[in-house]
Amino acid sequence: MADLLDHLRLAALPPEAEAFRTEVKDFLAREMPPAGADIRARSWLAFDGEFSRKLGARGWVGVTLPKRYGGAELDAYRRFVLMEELLAVGAPVGAHWIADRQSGPLILKFGSERQKEKYLGGICRGEIFFGIGMSEPNSGSDLASVGTRAVRTDQGWRLTGRKIWTTNGHKCNYVIALVRTSGSAADRHAGLSQFIVDLNLPGVTVRPIVDMTGDAHFSEMFFDDVELDDDALIGNEGDGWKQVNAELAFERSGPERIYSSIVLLDAWLNWLRRTGRAQQHVEALGRFATHLATLRQLSIAVTAKLAAGESPVVEAALVKDIGTEFEQATPAFIEAAAGADPSAPPDDELLRTLAYVSHMAPTFSLRGGTREILRGMIARGLGLR
């Protein structure tokens, strides 16, 4: 029954992973594009093809992918260290983030040899970028209800439908789309497949969606009779549900579920130090550090399972839910603190950083599975469903 809790075992990063950290810090000291906290707070939504290529040249994109496909063949622990360091400073990793985190690993796990040869090298060089083709206007949490369809043709498949909320879709080369290839929505998990869709194909229209911060990181996609090769199908026809769940496990298991507000926290602390106010917030700072340190240990426990070749679906959901709570509590608290003295408000850069994170904070517990869905998954993991 409570096996789930026993699965989150204390684990430590191995010494090699720690040694790797210094290399990453050195790289960032040299190559990190200078940017204010408000820009860096965009974190892994910020698209910088140049930075992704530099990271790729260093061998740090697709780090867990095999060397024969261009990866560095590092373990999950070293990936964790790399991710931590990139997120801690708000490096603009958005261009390659999805490909590195889930698209590449998905292709490695379910793709044909030809697909691995075709895509993984470019992913690892930080040259080709992938988006997630899951959500649709009428299919968010109920992902199995997707209506985008692919029907067989002589050359391969014809794709018709829409996707939405694809991060940086308008700047990506490909999406991996979950579509229905047989049956109907009433068949639920059966009859779904995944396709690698080249966004340059005729019939594909991608439009950015402007958000309330003025950014346009989201996008929507229209597929109007897009002709796909046979080759575009990844894995087996009809295995889409199983595959997309494996992809979601990759999506949910990383340390970005605790570090989304870390640039804001650092910006606030730096302001407090500069203006001699840090002591006033000693308890809040201690609470942030306490939560951060402990959440990190939970994230490492999930990483240990990835390193052991497991798919820690429910454990990742648990850590993501409690992690995003911390990520959201950070701007909530800092916003109150920032208004504690109307005669001495924080500087504009801190206010912009705070505003950005406050405005985007609701998405922390929407993306990659809403809070309500994750809690349902945890409940199932506890044997309640």
Partner 1 sequence: MFAEAIEAIITEQCPPATVRAIESGASAQPLAAAFLDAGFHELLVPEAQGGGGASWREFFDVVALCGAHAVPLPIAQTFAARAFVRDSRTLPAGLITLAPSLRGEAEGPLEASHVPFARVSSHVLATRGDALLLLAVADAHQTPSGIHGSLAASLRWEAGAGQEVPGSVTGDRFHALAALLHAGLLAGAMKRAFDLTMAYANERSQFGRTIGKFQAIQHQLAVMAEQVAVGRMAAQAAFAVDQGLPGTAACAVAKARTSEAAQGVASIAHAVHGAIGITEEYDLQLSTRRLHEWRLAHGSEAYWHRRVGQMFIDSDAALAADFGRSIFQT
Residues forming contacts to partner 1 in the complex (CB under 8 A) are 1-2, 4-5, 8, 10-12, 84-85, 87-89, 259, 262, 265-266, 269, 273, 278-279, 281-298, 301, 318, 321-322, 372, 374-376, 378-379, 382-385
Residue whose structure tokens are 């040299």: 30
User: How many CB atoms within 10 Å of residue 114?
Assistant: 9
Instruction: Pick between residue 148 and residue 261 the one whose CB is nearest to partner 1.
Output: 261
Instruction: Pick between residue 16 and residue 224 the one whose CB is nearest to partner 1.
Output: 16
Instruction: Pick between residue 69 and residue 271 the one whose CB is nearest to partner 1.
Output: 271
User: How many CB atoms within 10 Å of residue 276?
Assistant: 8
Q: Is residue 180 helix, strand or coil?
A: strand
Minimum CB–partner distance for residue 324 and partner 1 (Å): 11
Instruction: Pick between residue 214 and residue 276 the one whose CB is nearest to partner 1.
Output: 276
Minimum CB–partner distance for residue 284 and partner 1 (Å): 7
Instruction: Pick between residue 204 and residue 278 the one whose CB is nearest to partner 1.
Output: 278
Instruction: Pick between residue 12 and residue 151 the one whose CB is nearest to partner 1.
Output: 12
Instruction: Pick between residue 184 and residue 270 the one whose CB is nearest to partner 1.
Output: 270
Six token digits for residue 145: 């209800």
- Round to whole Å and give the CA distance between 256 and 97: 11
User: How many CB atoms within 10 Å of residue 205?
Assistant: 13
Cβ partners under 8 Å of residue 357, min gap 6: 41, 260, 261, 263, 264, 330, 331
Minimum CB–partner distance for residue 268 and partner 1 (Å): 9
Neighbouring-strand partners of residue 140: none
Minimum CB–partner distance for residue 368 and partner 1 (Å): 16
Minimum CB–partner distance for residue 60 and partner 1 (Å): 18
CA distances 19 to 24, 59, 62, 81, 319, Å, are: 9, 16, 19, 10, 26
Give the helix ranges, DSSP H, for the chain.
Answer: 3-7, 15-31, 37-40, 49-57, 76-89, 94-98, 104-110, 113-124, 240-252, 262-274, 282-307, 313-338, 348-364, 371-381
Minimum CB–partner distance for residue 181 and partner 1 (Å): 32
Minimum CB–partner distance for residue 45 and partner 1 (Å): 18
Q: Is residue 148 helix, strand or coil?
A: coil
